[in-house]
Amino acid sequence: MNPDGQAIGAKTATVPAYHAGICQAQGGELDGAVQLLGPRTLCCRP
């Protein structure tokens, strides 16, 4: 964090500020239809 020979007195820190995002949600339109084909097992492990 502090290289050899560099004084710590030269460091400063500020409290982080939260800035809320301003992006509007978009996309996600439905396309196609649902077809019931029977039970399925989904696994997220490789």
pLDDT, tens digit (0-9, with 9 covering 90-100), for 16-25: 988 888 888 8
CB-based contact 8:2 (threshold 8 Å)? yes
Measured from the Cβ of residue 13, the count of other Cβ atoms closer than 10 Å reads: 5
pLDDT confidence of 37, banded at 50, 70, 90?
confident
User: What average pLDDT does this structure show over 28-33?
Assistant: 84
Please spell the DSSP secondary structure of the chain, one letter per residue. Answer: ---TT--GGG------------PPP------S--------------
Instruction: Kindly report the pTM of this predicted structure.
Output: 0.20
Confidence at residue 19, expressed as pLDDT on a 0 to 100 scale: 84
Confidence at residue 5, expressed as pLDDT on a 0 to 100 scale: 72
